[in-house]
Structure 1
Amino acid sequence: AWLIGKTALALRSEYLAIATLGISEIIIALMKNEDWLSRGVKNVIGLPRPVPYEIELQESAGFIEHTTALGLDPVTSSSIVVKLGYAGLFSIVLVIVLILAQLALASPWGRMMRAIRDNEEAAEAMGKNVTARHLQIFILGSAICGVAGAMMTTLDSQLTPSSYQPLRFTFLVWVMVIVGGSGNNFGSVLGGFLIFFLWVQVEPMGAILMQILTSGMAEDNVLRLHLLDSVAHMRLLTMGLILILVLRFAPKGLIPEK
């Protein structure tokens, strides 16, 4: 983050966005092609987890005994236990990051950062090193992203470079912040939960909706087949629609900055 920040943060507005997106694509291309670094397209697998693997629980005599006594399937139960373990771990990390972010926001450092955001020239005239503060916040944000990435790759048990698409890991996060409320930590958390829930659920909900809308059509109807085949694109349509509606009716997000 420090290296990229020193390179890119001299730029402003859309030029900064273009530079950082370009650098991210270069990093992804390196990860895809350099076998010595990340096994390339073979992916990094077998990453150690902070919670047990499902197979470890399924091979544990104590776990099988407990689940059987409760009348539960050990295979299904192991998956649920692992997910609950990750949910608990994620909640702890989220609370810690949120508390630290709120403390930082209310501190003199936080007021300085808001002053720089609102009027860089005025902040610089007051003796603040704007370039150094930009680099500082860029590094802090990258560190938080790194923690999130580490949690995600260990949950998946693999690092798959080809899965890092700008649509999901740039645009979607951007929508989360805008919908929740830019400049409000609680708004960002709300936007994250809400948008990702919709991102996951829109496709199955869209399939049900299309089944209802086309229920009166023949099985081989061209329009029916086209609508059912297009369900996968409901995610993009929904995200765009939500973004437009929020920007029109709640431009400061669901939980605006005070």
Structure 2
Amino acid sequence: MVRDPGVDAIEAVNPAGTGFLGGLGLPVVIGWMVGGLLAAGAAWIIGKTALGLRSDYLAIATLGISEIIIAIMKNEEWLTRGVKNVTGLPRPMPDAIDLQNDPGFVERAANLGFDPTAASTLYIKIGYGLMFAAVLIILLVLAQLALNSPWGRMMRAIRDNETSARAMGKDVTFRHLQVFILGSAICGIAGAMMTTLDGQLIPTSYQPLRYTFLIWVMVIVGGSGNNLGAVLGGFLIWFLWVQVEVLGPGFMTWVTGALPDDSGLKEHLLDSVQHMRLLTMGVILLLVLRFSPRGLLPER
């Protein structure tokens, strides 16, 4: 009851008209780093309580904790706006409307033979692509350096045989916590980048199928234990995930073309075309596990 007036005042803000409430006016890239730090802090809290569990129980515990966090984001409106979403977040690139209203940008686009609308869209996409590629390259270089360092060899030794590593005097529990925090920090950076790309935070969009299972498929297909394999799997699976939605209806129409129009099977298959994404991911996963169980780019 004490905080209700403040909550009502915050809820009364319309980000579309007045801008997002809060923020320090710093560059958006700083927000990416802060997202990584916050994720690392949350991982430290979770890791201190959950990393003592065995691998299977640890997976169950971390999945359960993630669902608790999502439930809090959806239901605690006073803290996260719940399903009302957080909109109007600043982006690292200018909006298309602002570019189209900029006389200098319009003139440069005309000199290059581009329509202002198409030029603004292309400019923003290229800008985002370069920024994200820069972050990916930095993280990949750091990961490769860590992999080939004494620290990386120690972490592989712990992964392969914890008992032997512990006998050699390595603090296995601390190293588990350390790599858990590092991985969560990278996830936090990625989440902050995606949120600023969308310009909004929608808790209901965070489904385990897309943000847990799909990422596992990327790592398995690319090659677990290989940084380049994980990148390859990410690009490949996401490309297929997007393209299946576009090509799926046409493919199903072609498959059912020989069936009569009044066929119940044809109607059922055409109505179920939205599930082709899941079918495709399952088939790819089965094929990789059957013919290349270590992934497309296996660990050396």
Task: Please report the TM-score for the alignment, with normalisation by the length of structure 1.
Answer: 0.96
Tell me how far apart the structure 1 counterparts of residues 115 and 259 of structure 2 sit (CA, whole Å): 41
Residue of 117, 127, 130 corresponding to 2:172: 130
Percent identity of the aligned residues? 71
Tell me how far apart the structure 1 counterparts of residues 56 and 117 of structure 2 sit (CA, whole Å): 49
Letter in 1 for 2:198: D
Deviation at 1:217, TM superposition (A): 4.6
Tell me how far apart the structure 2 counterparts of residues 162 and 74 of structure 1 sit (CA, whole Å): 34
Corresponding residue for 1:156? 198
Q: Give yes or no for the alignment of 1:204 onto 2:216.
A: no
Q: Give yes or no for the alignment of 1:36 onto 2:78.
A: yes
Deviation at 1:203, TM superposition (A): 2.0
Deviation at 1:219, TM superposition (A): 4.8
Could you give the per-residue CA deviations for residues 87-138 of structure 1, whole angstroms, max 9, x where no partner exists? 1001100000000000000000000000000000110111100010000000
Give the unaligned 5+ runs of structure 2: 1-42
Letter in 2 for 1:50: P
Residue of 211, 215, 219 corresponding to 1:177: 219
SS at structure 2 position matched to 1:49: coil
Task: Please report the TM-score for the alignment, with normalisation by the length of structure 2.
Answer: 0.83
Q: What is the root-mean-square deviation in Å for CA atoms of aligned residues?
A: 1.3
Displaced runs of 4 or more, over 6 A = none
Residue of 137, 142, 147 corresponding to 1:105: 147
Deviation at 1:226, TM superposition (A): 2.0
Q: How does 1:2-151 map to 2 (within 5 A)?
A: 2-151=44-193
Q: How does 1:228-243 map to 2 (within 5 A)?
A: 228-243=270-285
Could you give the per-residue CA deviations for residues 132-177 of structure 1, whole angstroms, max 9, x where no partner exists? 0000000000010011111101111101111111101000000000
Give the unaligned 5+ runs of structure 1: none
Change (3 A) 1:57 1:218: farther
Letter in 2 for 1:17: A
Mean CA deviation greater in 61-70 or 84-93 = 61-70
Tell me how far apart the structure 1 counterparts of residues 193 and 88 of structure 2 sit (CA, whole Å): 14
Deviation at 1:218, TM superposition (A): 5.0
Deviation at 1:36, TM superposition (A): 2.7
Tell me how far apart the structure 2 counterparts of residues 225 and 96 of structure 1 sit (CA, whole Å): 49
Q: Give yes or no for the alignment of 1:187 onto 2:204.
A: no
